Amino acid sequence: MKGDYQDLVDEISTLLGAPATLENRDFRLIAFGAHDSDDDLAMDPVRTRSILTRGSTAAVRSWFEGFGIARATGPVRIPAAPEAGVFRGRICLPVRYRGIVQGYVWLLDREPGPAPDALAAAMEVADRIGVLLAEEAKAGADLSREFRAVLTAGRGWQQDMAVSALRAALGPAAADELHAVVCVAPWTGEPPATVPGAAAVCVVPGRGPDADAAAPDAPVAPGAPAPGRALALLVRLRAADALGPAEAVASRLLGPGSGSAAARTAAGAAAGAARTATGGSAAGAARTAAAVSGAARPAGGAAARTAGAGAAVAVAPGGPAAGIAEPGRGLAGLADAWAQASAAARAAAAQPRLGPVARWSSIGPYRMLSALASAAPADDPAARPLLGPAQRELARTAEVFLDCAGQAGRAAAALGIHRQTLYYRLARVEQLTGLDLDEGEDRLLLHMALKAARLHA
């Protein structure tokens, strides 16, 4: 299909003697013609950004739509606007199918402009593009419906039927292909028609107050985000240990700077530097990195406390995070993979040092906690006094102390406080909870309660 679009765009470029660019109705780049001009003005910032980022900004989209391109049935000439980064005028050919706009073909305008008969011939090609886009949109909608059914169907024959329908929609090769499921949550908008790099995409409703009103009673796989909705994506992989394509898809949806691979590489480099500087083991390097990171972090910060713990890019409060399931071959295990991906997304949102893109294999205790958690928080009466806003600092102190395996020196360094201050706060924690932090089971109970509270924050 991609080759068909490119051939048709090249045909329009030849007809009109100018490089053409094809975008869908959401201004996502589909194909573009070669440009061999030495004129720098021909590649203005808007066209350059469209090609390099495969899309346009909301401001650019709004500006072009102001010329009525979504309603037009013929070519629209748009003047240059240097203040908006549009140094050359444009000709827009609306791509329609049965009266509905499917996309746009863009050409740089120049005097005297294309002849009327050439424009008419180009519009005929645009109509052929419209047929392809409409067929692809219908196929994408069918695929989205089948993918959503697999993730939300009950066990047994319903699941088997949904998997069979999705396999038919994806093609016979899907039965043996390696896939990873990605969850982005919360997702407040409509699902994108397509996502570059994803074989299928759909929105899965949650059970909370913001759940999808169109399907409030739809079942959700265990571990799925309770509040609101989540975007699910199916990504094809080349190898089980190569999750790069899945991370790229998640990062593209979350925005610049959200990828986890670079952060993990940087964390690994920091751990290596610490090992070299201290002459110690990997564990010693991690403790050194944790102490330095914690001492430099202001109270309430979310920088990674342990080298190699994952992306150090913090998740914005209330913003979306992404989780990636363990790779699997075929489609029969997609429901379980969805549970893993959504659990990883919840963990990334709960613990910023894990996100904003977290792999299920890297979220540690949250793998078990997310499986145990229900729609209601795990509210243990012993930990309850620490979970209110008034005791936020004590709760954080207890969590860091337990994260550091009860080692007071490491915990005090991570918190940036004196050891005596740490002992005073821990005594207050014991008074409020009635727990003895010298007892392993009491520590386990408090640690689980504090981590579970994060999942429902």
pLDDT at 290: 31
* Segment of 135-139, 165-169, 326-330, 372-376 carrying the highest mean pLDDT: 326-330
Q: Say if residue 294 is exposed, middle or buried (CB neighbours under 10 Å; 0-12, 13-18, 19+).
A: buried
Q: Which fold has domain 2-129?
A: Beta-Lactamase (3.30.450)
Q: Which residues contact 268 (CB under 8 A, 6 or more apart)?
A: 307, 308
Mean pLDDT of 85-102: 86
Average pLDDT, the chain: 75
Distance from C-alpha of 397 to C-alpha of 395, rounded to nearest angstrom: 5
pLDDT at 272: 42
Of 54-68, 291-305, 373-387, 422-436, the least confident: 291-305
pLDDT at 302: 28
Is residue 216 scored above 50 in pLDDT? no
Phi, psi (rounded to 5 degrees) for 212: -55, 115
Tokens of residue 68, six digits: 């009525």
Cβ proximity of 182 and 249 under 8 Å: yes
Phi, psi (rounded to 5 degrees) for 111: -80, 145
Provide the 8-state DSSP code for 310.
S
Chain centroid to CA 250: how far? 3
| Domain covering 377-457 in this structure, CATH number | 1.10.10.2840
pLDDT at 454: 76
Distance from C-alpha of 258 to C-alpha of 354, rounded to nearest angstrom: 11
**In the chain, where are the structural domains located?**
2-129, 153-260+310-372, 377-457
Q: Which residues contact 402 (CB under 8 A, 6 or more apart)?
A: 443, 446, 447, 450
* Structure-model confidence comparison of residues 282 and 35, the more confident one: 35
Distance from C-alpha of 50 to C-alpha of 269, rounded to nearest angstrom: 34
pLDDT at 357: 93
Is residue 71 scored above 50 in pLDDT? yes
The size of the chain, in residues, is 457
The predicted model scores a pTM of: 0.56
Question: SS3 for 321?
Answer: strand
Q: Which residues contact 2 (CB under 8 A, 6 or more apart)?
A: 30, 31
| 294 — pLDDT class (breaks 50, 70, 90) | very low
Chain centroid to CA 447: how far? 29
* Segment of 142-156, 218-232, 238-252, 321-335 carrying the highest mean pLDDT: 321-335
Question: SS3 for 405?
Answer: coil
Is residue 428 scored above 60 in pLDDT? yes
Mean pLDDT of 438-443: 88
Distance from C-alpha of 32 to C-alpha of 13, rounded to nearest angstrom: 9
Beta pairing, strands 20-24 & 100-108 = antiparallel
Residue type, position 332, single letter = A
pLDDT at 36: 55
Spatial CA neighbour of 325 closest among 178, 162, 155, 456: 178
Contacts by 51-57 with C-beta closer than 8 Å and gap 24+?
51/21, 54/28, 54/29, 54/196, 55/23, 55/26, 55/27, 55/28, 55/29, 56/23, 56/27
pLDDT at 418: 93
